Amino acid sequence: MTRHRSLEVVRTLGPATLEAHWEGDTLFVRKLVVPSSCRGQGHGSRLLQAVIAEFGGRRIALAAVPFDGCSLTKAALMAWYRSFGFKLVDRRWSTMARPAGLAAEGRRA
**Residue 27 clears pLDDT 90, i.e. is over it:** yes
Tens of pLDDT, residue by residue over 29-70, are 999 999 989 999 999 999 999 999 999 789 999 999 988 778
Q: Which of 10-24, 35-49, 77-91, 92-106 has the lowest mean pLDDT?
A: 92-106
- Any bridge partners for residue 70, and if so which? none
Domain boundaries, the chain: 8-98
Out of 3.30.565.10, 3.30.70.120, 3.20.20.70, 3.40.630.30, the CATH code matching 8-98 is 3.40.630.30
Q: What is the pLDDT of residue 101?
A: 86
pTM score above 0.75: yes
- Band of pLDDT at residue 107, cut at 50, 70 and 90: low
